Amino acid sequence: MARNIRMLQKSKVEPCPKCGNNLLFNILSEQVAEDSCDVWAECAVCGYDPTSGKEGHRLESVWGGTDDNNCIWAVECWNEEIREDAKTIPQENSTQAE
């Protein structure tokens, strides 16, 4: 049960680290336990999923599904993951204060 969404141009979504897309996403929902579903977003262009292989990084929903609310949350999770991943990439000439 995947839903294809297109973000508004003005929306602030972190670009996909693989292809730079920040407008087209697939929202997916999968039942992982009797009363729990995971909902997450993946890049609709290259299929990149920043939560892949990570426990507890996806939105947990009792009913799952890809209604508007869950789509918004899934994109929020995407943003968080991309920002987290960006932190772990060593940057040259980093001027970040300790």
Residue 45 is a binding residue for Zn ion (CB under 5 A): yes
Q: Is 43 in the site for Zn ion (CB under 5 A)?
A: yes
Q: Closer to Zn ion at the Cβ: 18 or 83? A: 18
Query: Which two structure tokens, joined as six digits, stand for 75?
Result: 């994109």
Burial class (CB in 10 A: 0-12, 13-18, 19+), 7: middle
Cβ proximity to Zn ion, 2 vs 46, nearer residue: 46
Q: Using the minimum distance from each CB to Zn ion, give the nearer residue, 32 or 46.
A: 46
| The two structure tokens encoding residue 15 | 């670009």
Cβ–Cβ < 8 Å for 22, 16: yes
**Per DSSP, what are the bridge partners of residue 26?**
4, 42
Does 18 engage in binding with Zn ion (CB under 5 A)? yes
Q: Specify the stretch interacting with Zn ion by CB under 5 A; choose among 8-16, 30-38, 64-72, 78-86.
A: 8-16
23 binds Zn ion (CB under 5 A): no
